[in-house]
């Protein structure tokens, strides 16, 4: 299983905002803290805003914060909404499938079950579950900003 960079950045952004509930945070700040492209983060912010996960304010003094409580953000739900598809193998997408053995192959069923189990495990967690070490996360994030 491989998650896209978009989903990775989505998780990082949400965790960062959950660690900073007291103030608005800029995409530039998050970009610097994680050493990732601001341009990519802006796209992530747009999607998370459309999903209602992030509230963003434009302009001078703007920024973003979580629009939902961390305990309300299920990780499995977030992955389903930030991954473009979950085509583990070519035959998962009937529109592009060219595999000649697809009609008789049992592998697709096993992979589908594995994918369902993967997302099922993520459904058991919320962002809040990953904030138990929030003070340590904040120290690490602050340290990354100083470098």
pLDDT recorded at residue 94: 85
Exposed e or buried b per residue across 30-60, where buried means at least 16 C-beta atoms within 10 angstroms of its C-beta: bbbbbebeeeebeebbeebeebebbebeeee
Contact predicate 41/28, CB 8 Å? no
E strand segments, the chain? 54-57, 63-66
pLDDT 10s digits, 74-114: 999 999 999 988 787 888 888 888 988 888 888 888 988 99
Average pLDDT of the segment spanning 2-26:
95
Task: Please say whether the beta carbons of 22 and 138 come within 8 A.
Answer: no
Domain spanning 5-146 has what CATH number? Answer: 1.10.10.10
The DSSP code for 93 is -
Q: Which residues contact 120 (CB under 8 A, 6 or more apart)?
A: 76
pLDDT by residue (tens digit) across 24-80? Answer: 999 999 999 999 999 999 999 999 999 999 999 988 889 999 999 999 999 999 999
pLDDT beyond 80 at 1: no
pTM of the predicted structure, to 2 decimals: 0.88
């Amino acid at each position: 299983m491989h998650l896209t960079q978009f989903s990775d950045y989505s998780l990082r952004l949400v965790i960062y905002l959950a660690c900073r509930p007291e103030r608005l945070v800029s995409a530039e700040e998050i970009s610097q803290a994680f050493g990732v492209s601001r341009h990519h983060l802006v796209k992530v912010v747009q999607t998370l805003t459309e999903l209602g996960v992030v509230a963003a304010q434009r302009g001078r003094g703007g920024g973003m914060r979580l629009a939902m409580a961390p305990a309300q953000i299920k990780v499995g739900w977030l992955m389903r909404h930030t991954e473009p598809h979950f085509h583990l193998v070519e035959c998962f997408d009937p529109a592009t499938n060219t595999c000649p053995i697809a009609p008789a192959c049992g592998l697709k069923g096993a992979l589908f079950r594995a994918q369902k189990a993967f997302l099922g495990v993520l459904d058991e967690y919320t962002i809040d579950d990953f904030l138990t070490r929030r003070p340590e996360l904040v120290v690490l994030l602050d340290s990354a900003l100083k470098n």
